[in-house]
Amino acid sequence: MKAKATKIKAAILCGMLGTAAVPAVSDGMDYSTVTDLLHLVMSSDRTVYTRMIVNRLAVEEGVIKASEHYMDEKALVLPAQMFRYGAEMVAEETDEFSYSLLSLWPINKQNAPTTDMEREGLEYIAANPGENFYGEEDLGGTTYFTAVYPDVAVAEACWACHNDHKDTPRSDFKAGDVMGGVVIRIPMD
């Protein structure tokens, strides 16, 4: 599901990516290329946090745990929480793009899809492992390029916590399952 090859003069975004000096970029990039690159940074940072911090210290070394209630329990923030805090910080800095972590089976109902395209994208990535979803949607008079990327259960702590949580609407997640999706949105107007 690839949107038509619309181009973005992505000077602002390229500056954020630290690639403004690269000539090829100044000619413009497909929206999907921009969201793919943004997602690559997001997912890499989060995966490194999951492996090198949470798996190493909480699972392998056992010196600290990761918890949803990290303040009360003096624990590490969960990888998903770290990701959300990053999204909040970006939202404070710019409206050139936004991102969020949503799910068809959210523990927190605020993280359920709120637009038809979000739902369509989440259903698509859940049914098509390894694929992303791209589309355009009109929200409040603005047209957005919207990309949805699979958010996968990469550590036992992910699916065990979701399966056992008192508020979970689904309790049969297993390794590698698509548990939700990263939604990246760029205004096109």
Partner 1 sequence: MRRIAPLLAAVLAASAGLAADPVASPAGLDGFVRTDRLPMPPDPFLAVGRTVWGATCENCHGGNKLTGAPKITSTADWAPRIAQGMDLLVAHATDGFMGPRFTEMPARGGNAALGDAEVAAAVAFMVWASGGAEAALDFARPFQTKENEHE
Contact map string, positions 36 to 55, toward partner 1, x by CB under 8 A: -------x---x---xx--x
Provide the Cα torsion 106, 33, 44, 189; round to 10°: -50
4 vs 124: CA distance, rounded Å: 18
Under the binding rule (CB under 8 A), the answer on residue 175 touching partner 1 is yes
The footprint of partner 1 on this chain (CB under 8 A) covers a number of residues equal to: 21
- Shorter beta-carbon distance to partner 1: residue 23 or 130: 130
- Shorter beta-carbon distance to partner 1: residue 51 or 119: 51
3-state helix, strand, coil in the chain (%, to 5): 40, 20, 35
Whole-number minimum distance, CB 131 to partner 1, in Å? 8
- Shorter beta-carbon distance to partner 1: residue 15 or 129: 129
Please calculate the CA angle 11-102-46 and round it to the nearest 5 degrees: 65
- Residue 77, classed as helix, strand or coil, is coil
Q: Are 179 and 151 in contact (CB under 8 A)?
A: yes
36 vs 2: CA distance, rounded Å: 12
User: Which one among 15, 129, 169, 187 touches partner 1, defined by CB under 8 A?
Assistant: 129
Under the binding rule (CB under 8 A), the answer on residue 165 touching partner 1 is no
The footprint of partner 1 (CB under 8 A) covers 43, 47, 51-52, 55-56, 59-60, 129-131, 152-156, 159, 174-177
